[in-house]
C-alpha cells in the first residue's frame, strides 16, 4: 500500500544524501588554459562552494579541476578535510602567473598556502601541473579580470 508519509520523507532525504556525497547540481564551469592544455574548471565563487570544494569526490575527469575565485587578494590557504583524492593546488596572481604549486594529501587539515596574496587558486589531480611543466611563473589563461 502506498504510504504518503514515507514517500514524502524519502523525497526530503534524497537531496540531503546527495549533498553528503558531494554530488550536488553541477557547478558552472569555465575553460582555462595552461600552456597548450585546456582545463575544464568548476567555479567556486561563493562561500558554500568554496567551503565544499572537491570534498567527497571519488575522482576527477582528465583535465578537470576547480578554480576558486576570491574578490580580494589574500594569502590563501587550502586544506583537504573530507577530500578523498590527492590534489595539487596552484596559487595564481591577477595576471595569470602561477605563484606556487602545492601537493596535498587527502583527508587532512594541513594548510597549503600561497606565498603571496592572490585571488585565484586552481585545484587539479595531484601532479597535474608538474606533468605539464607548469611551474611558478607559467601562465594560466582564461581567468576573469579582477574588478
Q: How does pLDDT run across 73-124, given as a tens digit for each residue? A: 999 999 999 999 999 999 999 999 999 999 999 999 999 999 999 999 999 9
List b or e across 38-74, with b for residues whose CB sees 16 or more CB atoms inside 10 angstroms. Answer: ebebbebeeeebbebbbebbeebeebbbbbbbbeeee
**pTM for this entry:** 0.82
**Confidence band of 3 (pLDDT split at 50, 70, 90):** very low
Each domain of the chain, given as residue ranges in start order, spans: 25-141
> 3-state DSSP call for residue 119?
strand
Q: Which CATH architecture has domain 25-141?
A: Sandwich (2.60)
Amino acid at each position: 500500500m502506498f504510504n504518503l508519509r514515507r514517500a514524502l520523507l524519502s523525497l526530503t532525504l534524497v537531496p540531503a544524501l546527495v549533498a553528503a556525497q558531494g554530488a550536488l547540481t553541477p557547478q558552472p564551469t569555465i575553460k582555462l588554459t595552461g600552456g597548450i592544455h585546456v582545463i575544464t574548471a568548476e567555479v567556486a565563487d561563493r562561500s558554500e562552494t568554496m567551503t565544499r570544494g572537491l570534498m567527497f569526490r571519488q575522482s576527477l575527469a582528465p583535465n578537470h579541476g576547480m578554480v576558486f575565485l576570491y574578490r580580494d587578494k589574500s594569502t590563501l590557504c587550502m586544506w583537504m578535510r573530507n577530500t578523498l583524492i590527492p590534489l595539487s593546488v596552484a596559487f595564481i596572481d591577477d595576471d595569470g602567473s602561477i605563484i606556487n604549486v602545492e601537493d596535498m594529501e587527502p583527508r587532512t587539515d594541513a594548510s597549503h598556502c600561497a606565498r603571496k596574496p592572490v585571488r585565484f587558486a586552481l585545484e587539479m589531480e595531484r601532479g597535474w601541473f608538474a606533468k605539464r611543466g607548469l611551474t611558478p611563473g607559467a601562465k594560466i589563461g582564461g581567468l576573469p579580470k579582477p574588478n
